[in-house]
Amino acid sequence: MQNQPNRGVAAFAAIAALAVGLGAGYAIWGWPTNWYAREVAKLPPGAEGDLIRYGHTLIIDTASNIGKGAANPEMRLAGNNLACVNCHLDAGLKPFAAPFVSTFATFPMLVDDQVLTLTERINGCMTRSLNGTALPSGGKEMNALIAYIKYLGQGTPQGVRIAGMGLRPLRAAAAAPDGRRGEVVYAKLCASCHKADGQGELRGAPRIGYSIPPLWGDESFNAGAGMSRLQYAAAYIHDNMPFGVNYREPVLTDQQAWDVAAYMTAQPRPAAPPRAASSLP
């Protein structure tokens, strides 16, 4: 009987420790905050808000501003007319669609034993996914993109990637990924949007760019982009395609995602730039 109080104290201590642990975990991962709910339209007027809004515009309408068909010839820095939002869905606010929410807080980042800055990471997208040239590091466009990414990450824990960042790891394929099976699935579930030839759909005039992005060919991302790698493409396809689905309610099975990715990544596309690193940090 004399041990009962001690047992009670021990039980209380264990519960308290568990509560502290859970609380720390929720704090790290952002619960109950929804880090994926940001509204650029509600930003107050002013220089800072204008820069963030311009960054948002660059994300959703990349082609008109810095695409190869941009009105200002000096701003034709991308080598295609894709938009950042074609991969970073919801302008970087969709979980497991390469979102930007923790991006600012996790850079600089160590990649392949080298320190990578956010500026360098953005220019990696410029030279690989957009198949173009780097943005000037101190220019308005680079500053606007960084300001927008920083805004999306306001309040997130420093150095921590919150839940939903990056791409969700996909289970290994039960059978070796097969592009022939993938072509059948593509024809059934993907071609209605991306077209049988994989060239997507152009926006209506007068805006340039794509309402549905091309997946291969001269106008697509090049062979150095993260999406040209089988494992990245499969994870992204499973959780985000056909457009509108999410990781909680996927349409494709794991195997179908692997097979479609095998088909897509085997198609011709522009060559990778020298020393390109295919990564999606």
pLDDT above 50 for 191? yes
CB count in 10 Å sphere of residue 48:
12
Q: Using CA atoms, how far apart are residues 162 and 99, in angstroms rounded to an integer? A: 10
What mean pLDDT value characterizes the chain? Answer: 87
Its CATH class, for the domain covering 179-265, is: mainly alpha
pLDDT tens readout for residues 52-107: 999 999 999 999 999 999 999 999 999 999 999 999 999 999 999 999 999 999 99
pLDDT given at position 207: 75
- Mean pLDDT, residues 253-259: 98
Nearest partner of 130 among 199, 72, 194, 59, judged by Cα? 59
pLDDT band at 158 (very low <50, low <70, confident <90, very high): confident
> Does residue 12 have a pLDDT over 70?
no
Spatial contact of 204 and 210, defined as CB atoms under 8 Å apart: no
DSSP assignment of 5-63 equals HHHHHHHHHHHHHHHHHHHHHHHHHTTT--TT---GGGSPSSHHHHHHHHHHHHHHSHH
Q: What is the pLDDT of residue 31?
A: 52
Q: What sign has the CA pseudo-torsion 115, 116, 118, 120?
A: positive
Locate the domains of the chain by residue range: 40-152, 179-265
Query: Are both 40-152 and 179-265 of the same fold?
Result: yes
> SS3 for 96?
coil
Task: Tell me the mean pLDDT in the region 157-172.
Answer: 91
Percent of the chain with pLDDT over 70: 86
What is the spatial distance between Cα 53 and Cα 30, in angstroms, rounded to a whole number?
25
**In whole angstroms, what is the distance from residue 199 CA to residue 193 CA?**
9
Total Cβ atoms within 10 A of residue 106: 19
Residue that wins the pLDDT comparison between 34 and 164: 164
**40-152 belongs to which homologous superfamily?**
Cytochrome c-like domain (1.10.760.10)
Q: Which of 183, 178, 180, 169 shows the shortest CA–CA distance to 255?
A: 178
- Judge contact between 231 and 258, C-beta under 8 A: no
pLDDT in tens, 25-50: 333 344 557 889 999 999 999 999 99
